[in-house]
């Protein structure tokens, strides 16, 4: 729990050490790293989207290397079955020939789980993640098993190649706290990537935090102050994602089929508290909401046929929503 500004500064220093270690391995991508840390300290899951070769997998593994937590990687493929990730009951034979069943845990029983190319698995396997991501439990047969704490699913997907993929259903997308776009590196960053990956010396991130520290920060950030005015502001942003809302901007009414559910505003507030903490503040501001709205809502807006046909970006819709809320206040 937050006892003083000194406690906040101590936690901020720990996060700075994590960023420093990540920077030893990952070139650039400061915004992506920042948003991933938002997810971790808000206790949520992240979906990273970007073309192949941008280091999405390496980034997740590097973040896992900075904390003393177990790391599991699942390579999603069309032939992957739910039991392959959750685990299954296996038969054991005793000394006298008697048989018994023992639960063999799957790779979901890790603190940090990398779901690589998640949209390549069938909907049946994708749905096996729903309970794990929401309840942090796994049910096999009549038995329910609790996953380790803290628990994060950090998934990746490729937005370009759609052949042989299964788009994530709305219910699955809604379980991700943020959808993070991984952008192409700049010219200078490309040069640094080449130098780091082709030299004889390779850098490795060191462990600078543990699960107990992360859980302490997660619990303490719940005390970050949220005024009634800021809460109203966040709720109005969410309401304006719905085309039937009278104050929604024209872009929403024209291009959006369904707006965000309640998890959208929950995500905005939870992540805004983390951003306030990283800025050394005890309270959430409008600027925090503006910064987190796009990654928190872009995967919770479902465009209609016209919006899809015209290639409308959900990010531009969210920007229009924030503008309309500002204008109407």
pLDDT attached to residue 239: 93
How would residue 281 be classed by pLDDT, with cut points 50, 70 and 90?
confident
pLDDT attached to residue 316: 92
Whole-angstrom distance, CA of residue 210 vs CA of residue 214: 7
- Calculate the alpha carbon distances from 130 to 137, 169, 173, 191, 230 in Å: 10, 11, 10, 40, 31
Whole-angstrom distance, CA of residue 109 vs CA of residue 231: 35
Are 240 and 99 within 8 A, CB to CB? Answer: no
The four Cα atoms 172, 176, 178, 184 give a dihedral, to 10 degrees, of -70
Is pLDDT larger for residue 328 or for residue 233? 233
pLDDT attached to residue 235: 94
Confidence check: pLDDT of 75 > 80? yes
Confidence check: pLDDT of 2 > 70? no
Domains and CATH numbers, the chain: 1-223 (3.40.50.300), 224-329 (1.10.8.80)
- Name which of 93-97, 186-190, 325-329 the model is least confident about: 93-97
Confidence check: pLDDT of 136 > 60? yes
Mean pLDDT value across the chain: 86
Average pLDDT over residues 140-152: 86
The three-point CA angle 256-262-267 to 5° equals 100
pLDDT attached to residue 1: 47
pLDDT digits (tens, 9 = 90+) for 168-207: 888 888 899 999 988 888 888 888 878 777 777 777 778 8
Confidence check: pLDDT of 70 > 90? no
Average pLDDT over residues 146-153: 90
- Residue tagged 């462990």 (tokens): 207
Whole-angstrom distance, CA of residue 45 vs CA of residue 263: 13
Q: How many residues does this entry show for the chain?
A: 329
Per cent of the chain over pLDDT 90 is 27
What are the phi and psi torsion angles at 56 (to 5°)?
-60, -45
At residue 296, the 3 state secondary structure works out as helix
pLDDT attached to residue 230: 93
Global pTM reads 0.86
- Calculate the alpha carbon distances from 269 to 30, 157, 202, 289 in Å: 22, 26, 39, 7
Per the structure block, which two tokens stand in for 203?
Answer: 């850098």
Question: Which alpha helices (DSSP H) does 199-302 contain, by range?
Answer: 211-220, 228-239, 250-255, 262-278, 286-297
pLDDT digits (tens, 9 = 90+) for 295-313: 999 999 999 999 889 989 9
Confidence check: pLDDT of 36 > 50? yes
Whole-angstrom distance, CA of residue 39 vs CA of residue 155: 12
pLDDT attached to residue 161: 63
Confidence check: pLDDT of 41 > 60? yes
Average pLDDT over residues 256-265: 91
Candidates 145, 76, 69; CA nearest to 110 is: 69
Confidence check: pLDDT of 96 > 80? no
Whole-angstrom distance, CA of residue 19 vs CA of residue 33: 8
pLDDT digits (tens, 9 = 90+) for 152-166: 999 988 876 666 677
């Amino acid at each position: 729990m937050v006892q003083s500004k000194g406690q906040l500064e101590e936690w901020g220093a720990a996060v700075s050490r994590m960023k420093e270690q990540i920077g030893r391995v990952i070139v650039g991508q400061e915004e992506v790293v920042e948003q991933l840390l938002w997810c971790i300290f808000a206790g949520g899951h992240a979906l990273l989207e970007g073309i192949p070769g941008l280091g999405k997998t390496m980034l997740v593994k590097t973040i896992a290397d900075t904390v003393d937590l177990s790391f599991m990687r699942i390579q999603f493929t069309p032939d992957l079955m739910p039991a392959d990730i959750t685990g299954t009951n296996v038969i054991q034979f005793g000394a006298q020939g008697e048989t018994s069943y023992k639960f063999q845990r799957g790779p979901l029983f890790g603190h940090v789980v990398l779901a690589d190319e998640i949209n390549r698995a069938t909907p049946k396997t994708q749905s096996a993640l729903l309970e794990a991501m929401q309840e942090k439990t796994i049910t096999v047969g009549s038995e329910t098993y609790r996953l380790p704490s803290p628990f994060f699913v950090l998934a990746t997907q490729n937005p370009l190649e759609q052949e042989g993929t299964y788009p994530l259903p709305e219910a699955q997308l809604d379980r991700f706290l943020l959808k993070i776009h991984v952008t192409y590196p700049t010219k200078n960053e490309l040069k640094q990537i080449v130098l780091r990956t082709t030299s004889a010396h390779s850098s490795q991130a060191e462990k600078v935090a543990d699960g107990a520290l992360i859980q302490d920060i997660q619990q303490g950030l719940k005390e970050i102050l949220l005024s009634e005015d800021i809460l109203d502001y966040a709720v109005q942003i969410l309401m304006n994602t719905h085309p039937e809302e009278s104050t929604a901007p024209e872009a929403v009414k024209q291009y959006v089929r369904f707006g965000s559910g309640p998890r959208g505003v929950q995500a905005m507030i939870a992540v805004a508290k983390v951003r306030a903490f990283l800025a050394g503040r005890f309270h959430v501001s409008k600027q925090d909401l503006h910064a987190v709205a796009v990654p928190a809502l872009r995967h919770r807006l479902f465009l209609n046929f016209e919006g899809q046909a015209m290639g409308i970006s959900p990010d531009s819709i969210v920007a229009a929503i924030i503008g309309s809320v500002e204008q109407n206040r």
